[in-house]
Amino acid sequence: MAEWFWVDGAQTSLVSADDRGLALADGIFETMRLEHGVLCLGNYHQYRLTEGLQRLAFRDPDGIAKQALEAVSSWALSLAADYEGSSLRLSITRGSGPRGYAPSASAPPRFIGRLSTGLPALQLPACAGVADIAWPTQPALSGLKLIARTEQVLAAQQLSLSGYDELLMANQRGAIVSTTSGNLFFRRGSQLVTPDLFEAGIAGTRRRYIIECLAKACEMSVSVTDVFPEMLSEFEEAFFCNSIIGIRSLANVVYGDRKATYDSVAAAEKLRPAIHGMNH
């Protein structure tokens, strides 16, 4: 695997220590899949970046998101065109700032890119447990991919010490929100169910793509609702998705002293071929 960094247009692996992303998590990011150097579902990433910048009250969210994404994509294409798959992370922080919480009125945002060649291979259905840490409740920022990701870090750390392939994360009311790094879908007949993200969670690009386009194209409906652990056994199939792995099925979920088992991977297989964009 090769890896490169890019900061504000220059290929460098150093960032100013007064960056507000580093100091206060004042920023957002996207992790994006490239195929032969070309961004998959770039419009979905741009949409979420714009929404994040808006909710963090950056000036000109549209312009900044567009400018950052174009610049980092063209840098990535120059390096990754010869690789079948790679991943590109773009962070947009509030740039340099003085001491204290209030942003500088004049500092430009900072764009940070990280390009890594290679993508994970398709993996077998995952055996999942449940993370000890729950998502925080914050409707005002829910859905965004903020730099502030403490809960997922703690869950990923627990995962790496557990015997599981994945962990599900609940919200403060105990409803299941996500895995450590993906959005969840459950299937009953031709109906998909995905957790409501009103209070907590990241509104993933692939989740949105399934809800808005793919499910219908695959003759399924989607409902967005609370999914509590005791409902896990009611479904025939479960899978999670993110921009890098695409879709991975769950073989089972162990929660408390119970276990939900899923024998079907039918919806996952139907959705997978198009999960990174139908026309590429």
Residues in contact with a second copy by CB under 8 A are: 5, 7, 12-26, 29, 31, 56-57, 87, 89, 91, 93-94, 99-103, 105, 112, 114, 116, 133-134, 136-138, 140-141, 146-157, 159-160, 172, 180-181
Closer Cβ to a second copy, 114 or 187, answer by number: 114
Q: Provide, rounded to whole angstroms, the least separation between the CB of residue 208 and a second copy.
A: 21
Strand, coil or helix: 63: helix
End-to-end CA distance of the chain: 24
Q: Provide, rounded to whole angstroms, the least separation between the CB of residue 180 and a second copy.
A: 6
Return d(Cα 191, Cα 87) in angstroms, integer.
31
What is the helix (H) or strand (E) element at residue 109, kind and residue range? none
Return d(Cα 84, Cα 19) in angstroms, integer.
33
Closer Cβ to a second copy, 106 or 279, answer by number: 106
CA distances from 157 to 89, 177, 236 (A): 21, 18, 29
Closer Cβ to a second copy, 87 or 194, answer by number: 87
Return d(Cα 52, Cα 91) in angstroms, integer.
11
Ramachandran area for residue 118 (φ above 0: left; ψ -120 to 50: alpha; else beta): left
Cβ(212)–Cβ(275) under 8 Å? no
Closer Cβ to a second copy, 66 or 89, answer by number: 89
Q: Provide, rounded to whole angstroms, the least separation between the CB of residue 41 and a second copy.
A: 18
Return d(Cα 181, Cα 246) in angstroms, integer.
11
Q: Provide, rounded to whole angstroms, the least separation between the CB of residue 29 and a second copy.
A: 8
Q: Provide, rounded to whole angstroms, the least separation between the CB of residue 255 and a second copy.
A: 18
Q: Provide, rounded to whole angstroms, the least separation between the CB of residue 235 and a second copy.
A: 26
Question: What are the two backbone dihedrals, phi and then psi, of residue 152, each rounded to the nearest 5 degrees?
Answer: -70, -35
Residues in the chain: 280
Q: Which residue has the tokens 């773009």?
A: 90
For residue 247, count CB atoms less than 10 angstroms from its CB and return exposed for 0-12, middle for 13-18, buried for 19 or more. Answer: buried
Closer Cβ to a second copy, 181 or 192, answer by number: 181
Closer Cβ to a second copy, 152 or 262, answer by number: 152
| C-alpha torsion sign, points 88, 92, 95, 99 | negative
Q: Provide, rounded to whole angstroms, the least separation between the CB of residue 243 and a second copy.
A: 12
Closer Cβ to a second copy, 172 or 221, answer by number: 172
Closer Cβ to a second copy, 160 or 279, answer by number: 160
Query: How many Å is the maximal CA-CA distance in the chain?
Result: 56
Q: Provide, rounded to whole angstroms, the least separation between the CB of residue 227 and a second copy.
A: 20
| Rg, C-alpha atoms of the chain | 19
